[in-house]
Amino acid sequence: MNTKLFYGVPFYTMDAERSVIEAVVIEGDTIKYTAENREEAHNLSPGAELVEINGGCILPGFVDAHLHLKNFSLLFRDMDLSSVRHKNDLMDSVQEVLSKKKEGEWLSAGGLERSLMDSLTRSDLDSVSRDNPLILFTVDMSSAITNSMALEQSGIDGARKDPLGGTIEKDVYNQPNGILHGRAVGLVTGQIPLDNVKKVDTALERGMNKILSHGITTFCDYSPDAASSSMINLMKLMRKKRLKGMVVFTMGDRETARLADIGMTSLFGGEHLRLGGLAVIIDGSFSSLTGYMSKPYRGSESHGMLLMDEKELYSLLKKNYSHYIWAAVHCAGDMANEIALRVFEKISNEVGMPKLPMRIEQAQFLKDKDVEQFSLTGVIAVMNTIQIPVNRARVIKHLGPDSNLLSRLGSLVASGAKIAISSNAPEFTINPFHGLYCAVERKGFEEGPELRFYPKESISLTDAVYAYTMGGAMACEMEKDIGSIEAGKSADLIHLSKDIFKEGTGKLWETEVLATFVGGEMVYEKN
């Protein structure tokens, strides 16, 4: 069996002691030894092949506990632009793909360098794509440029106002210039139709490769809607031995009921694809002011929407847990979180009920007693941190003095509760460094310190990385297999361009993943 000794940079293990080591011995696909230095590792495994890592640091692979794979992957449906560096090459590539499309068909591509987007105009795209709506996404997925037809089909004109958390760039005549930022991008992506099976297969493979390029070696595909299921596509990739990394798949109650009938449980699967659990949504979202709150939104009598009452949720969760299928419950508003926490507590106290992960997705607004309940019940808060700066102004406007309920990471960590940081891609960028930065700094990359939102709810960079590795592993019921650099676990490692713990959060914005290893195999290397 092939044995390799990795050394040369600090290895931040994210184990219980948050140990820092200098060497790791990998045998096959598993970490065999960890050592304080190369000499110790060499003594443990003298015949190992030496692999020197130069610069930066090594972390365990990120575990993104909540994203939407198909929607993310479809952003790369027609091509990946990551290798395109010049405007002329871009225009030629777009024209080549368009030549194979029918009139009116969408063209969607991702990976565009921001500097290249800044050199483009809507007119440039119109010159090659007047008969097809077109959208090109930046590398971090937070911005895009479109042609006129895409803007028209999306209802974006000079009178269209910026959406919450988004910007529609305008020209000197107050007309959209085709460049969109933040949630304004979603105005267009919502218009892109799903495509045929073959194109979805291709898009998913591109999406998976893009995920690996960000150092995410395991992720949970949150799919409460069976119509958006990507399991069949993933199984085809797996049969062709083209599926790298680990996908933990959640699904709706009808699907989990069918699986329970034939005795399939959470964790069923193999080395690349496993059944996670039930995905259920019990309230709306804050962006639409439909998250279910204990108090009405300011200037309104509305508390939001409760899509499933406490009794219904208890019955559904009990049925799944009794069949060894765990649940991940979407809760935005504080009252929705309170209801789900009560149900989880009741389930956990049931005699004979199996001890499985209990998850609340978003956990966006929490009262003090909710924070305490997370800690007492062991429920995992799966949280998106990028939404902190995105929602800041709207939270102040619609919650007023209750704005401090937003994303209470600091309070949760202090209480001993378990948290997992996730991207919720493609609504937000999949880049983990953005999520880490917002968890620590409580603001966006380019914002000043005066815009830190309730900084007492900040957490340390170490705690943030732990939440994006071991926290995610716990949320996916895989903490014995992944999430840290420890003997016996899968050799899922990522090589970063900077030692983020020595250089600090100020360098996160320019940190890159240089290589991603899954089971000891390099599955991504930056060119």
The runs of H, that is alpha helices, within 217-356 are 231-239, 253-261, 310-322, 334-348
Is residue 197 very low, low, confident or very high in pLDDT (cuts 50, 70, 90)? low
Q: Per mean pLDDT, which range of 98-107, 157-166, 414-423 is the poorest?
A: 157-166
Tell me the pLDDT tens digit for each residue of 67-126: 999 888 877 888 888 778 899 999 999 999 999 999 999 998 988 888 888 888 899 999
Instruction: Please list, in sequence order, all residues whose beta carbon lies within 8 angstroms of the beta carbon of residue 522, skipping any fewer than 6 positions away.
Output: 515, 516
Distance from C-alpha of 66 to C-alpha of 150, rounded to nearest angstrom: 29
Residue 406, both tokens: 């937003």
Residue 490 phi/psi, 5-degree rounding, is -60, 140
For residues 306 and 336, the answer to whether their CB atoms sit within 8 Å is yes
Domains and CATH numbers, the chain: 78-189 (3.10.310.70), 197-492+497-507 (3.20.20.140)
Global model pTM greater than 0.75: yes
Task: State the average pLDDT over residues 260-288.
Answer: 93
Express the helix, strand and coil content of the chain in percent, nearest 5 each: 35, 25, 40
DSSP-assigned states of every residue in 80-136: E-TT--SHHHHHHHHHHHHTTS-TT--EEEEEE-HHHHHT--HHHHHTT-TTS-EEE
3-class secondary-structure state, position 202: helix
**CA 259 to the chain's CA centroid:** 26
Distance from C-alpha of 348 to C-alpha of 322, rounded to nearest angstrom: 11
Say yes or no to pLDDT of 502 above 80.
yes
Tell me the pLDDT tens digit for each residue of 123-138: 999 999 889 999 998 8
Count each helix (H run) and each strand (E run) in the chain, helices first: 18, 22
Distance from C-alpha of 47 to C-alpha of 50, rounded to nearest angstrom: 9
AA identity, residue 21: I
pLDDT of the residue at 140: 67
Percent residues over pLDDT 70 in the chain: 98
* Residues making up the chain, counted from first to last: 527
Closest of 465, 378, 487 to residue 58, by C-alpha: 465
AA identity, residue 247: V
Sheet of strand 176-182, all strands in order from the earlier edge strand to the far edge: 79-80, 107-112, 134-138, 143-146, 176-182, 166-170
pLDDT of the residue at 247: 96
Q: Is the peptide bond before 426 cis (omega within 30 degrees of 0)?
A: yes
